[in-house]
Amino acid sequence: MRRRVVVTGVGAVSPLGVGAEALWSGVKAGQSGIGPITLFDTGDFPVTFAGEVSGFDPEAYFEKKEVRHLDRVTQFAMVASREAVKDSGLDLGAEDTTRIGAIIGSGIGGLDTTEKQVLTLHERGVRRVTPFLVPMMMINAPGGQVAIDLGLRGPNMCVSSACASANHAIGLALHHIRYGQADVLLAGGSEAALTPIGLAGFCSARALSKRNDDPQGASRPFDATRDGFVFGEGAGVLVLEERERALARGARIYAEICGFGNTDDAFHITAPHAEGDGAARSMAEALRDAELSPSDVTYINAHGTSTELNDKLETLAIKRVFGDHAAKLAISSTKSMVGHLLGASGGVESVVSVKAIFEGVAPPTINLNTPDPECDLDYVPNTARELKIEAAVSNTFGFGGHNACLAFRRHA
């Protein structure tokens, strides 16, 4: 018997600010969080802007000693998780924490620590490498540190599947609660790969927009003039809870999470399948798992990276799955406002999706001024729209051909 699972708390760190409300209010207003990079000198780089979490002061959240032992990716995950738990109203001190856990995804992990310590090794020698290198750089550090911070003794793991990491983490958490392996799980993703080597890698891959003179207009999903994605960082975490338990304690429920689709293109290590096959199958599988028909869906939070192939092929995949109903869907890419947060994307976009359902607002896709003829659906251009959303899906597609789709519906 499948137990029903609901979302009772949300937390976020994003280029629009610290906190889920900063994210949601900025997204509703069509506000861009993209600007010049301040974390390091970009003088030698062809791209000088990103979706940076600017002004983030870790000492506002951690003791100085803790800051030295936590990579930025872990700091983001911990801050978002603390907020999500507080938002949920859970009193962890009164709970059986063997039934509460965390599944936090990351595509790259502690890159800042890794990069700096490699330089230390070559410039200052092996004895100067910090003994905290491994626990700071490892991709599972965010989930492990969240568990330590909050005292969560239930299921805990890390998912690393590039840009699909957070959706995979949330999907696994759904299954754990459905089938009785846990009652509450924190699930989402964190990423802080905005470092010199991280930026250099994506620049060399020619994946990024080069609109240095217009950072806020650079991420333009589905627009004919798009020229690449905008690098971002941040974290998004949901509190998933077994429905009857949540009702019994009088929790506020944002939405029900009801489906998860997980496929691979088996096509190319970076390029999406030429006909959007894996993306389409992931959406179809999420609908099947959720017991939803295509006509039940009102809104799609698209992967929408602002790259030529992704936006065109995601549009094709949506048409394959939804048929004639595709033209009636409200679709938006919030990456137009925060950039591409890599492994954290699905976490942040799930926060947006459940808020959209709860408040009845479809967020916009900003910078959509010259529609691409091959991207001919309703992408809610530039201005948010009041809309009663009965069900929504959220897509993430990653390098390696990974596709992960989540389905949510209004709780009833």
pLDDT tens for 164-213 read 999 999 999 999 999 999 999 999 999 999 999 999 999 999 999 999 99
Q: Which pLDDT does position 271 carry in this prediction? A: 87
Are 143 and 177 members of one domain?
yes
Q: Which pLDDT does position 274 carry in this prediction? A: 87
Last residue of a domain, one of 189, 223, 248: 248
Are 87 and 113 members of one domain?
yes
Are 274 and 327 members of one domain?
yes
Asked whether 265 and 272 are in contact (CB, 8 A), the reply is yes
Of the chain, the percentage scoring pLDDT greater than 90 comes to 98
Query: Does the annotation count 175 as an active-site position?
Result: no
From 303, 375, 405, 411, the catalytic residue: 303
The SS3 assignment for 411 reads coil
Q: Which pLDDT does position 1 carry in this prediction? A: 81
Which residue shows structure tokens 């990024």?
A: 208
Query: Does the annotation count 405 as an active-site position?
Result: no
Is 253 domain-assigned? no
Is 254 domain-assigned? no
| pTM of model > 0.85 | yes
Q: Which pLDDT does position 134 carry in this prediction? A: 98
Last residue of a domain, one of 248, 268, 302: 248
Are 171 and 230 members of one domain?
yes
Is 119 domain-assigned? yes
Is 368 domain-assigned? yes
pLDDT over threshold 90, residue 316: yes
Is 124 domain-assigned? yes
Are 240 and 305 members of one domain?
no
Asked whether 364 and 332 are in contact (CB, 8 A), the reply is yes
Are 99 and 53 members of one domain?
yes
In which band, very low, low, confident or very high, does the pLDDT at 60 lie, cut at 50, 70 and 90? very high
Are 375 and 350 members of one domain?
yes
Mean pLDDT of the 142-159 span: 98
Are 32 and 84 members of one domain?
yes
Q: Which pLDDT does position 8 carry in this prediction? A: 98
- Residue 239 has phi, psi (to 5 degrees) of -95, 115
Are 81 and 161 members of one domain?
yes
Are 140 and 224 members of one domain?
yes
Are 58 and 204 members of one domain?
yes
Domain count, the chain: 2
Residue-wise pLDDT tens digits, 339-364: 999 999 999 999 999 999 999 999 99
Q: The domain containing residue 264 runs over which residues?
A: 259-409
Is 306 domain-assigned? yes
What is the C-alpha to C-alpha distance for residues 83 and 348, in angstroms, rounded to an integer? 13
Q: Which pLDDT does position 270 carry in this prediction? A: 85
Mean pLDDT of the 382-409 span: 97
Query: Does the annotation count 163 as an active-site position?
Result: yes
Whichever domain contains 375, its CATH number is 3.40.47.10
Q: Which pLDDT does position 346 carry in this prediction? A: 98
What is the C-alpha to C-alpha distance for residues 309 and 334, in angstroms, rounded to an integer? 18
> Where does residue 193 rank: exposed (0-12), middle (13-18), buried (19+ CB within 10 A)?
buried
Residue-wise pLDDT tens digits, 62-118: 999 999 999 999 999 999 999 999 999 999 999 999 999 999 999 999 999 999 999
Are 352 and 374 members of one domain?
yes
pLDDT, averaged across the chain: 97
Last residue of a domain, one of 248, 269, 300: 248
Residue-wise pLDDT tens digits, 214-228: 999 999 999 999 999
From 168, 340, 402, 411, the catalytic residue: 340
Q: Which pLDDT does position 367 carry in this prediction? A: 98
Asked whether 406 and 283 are in contact (CB, 8 A), the reply is no
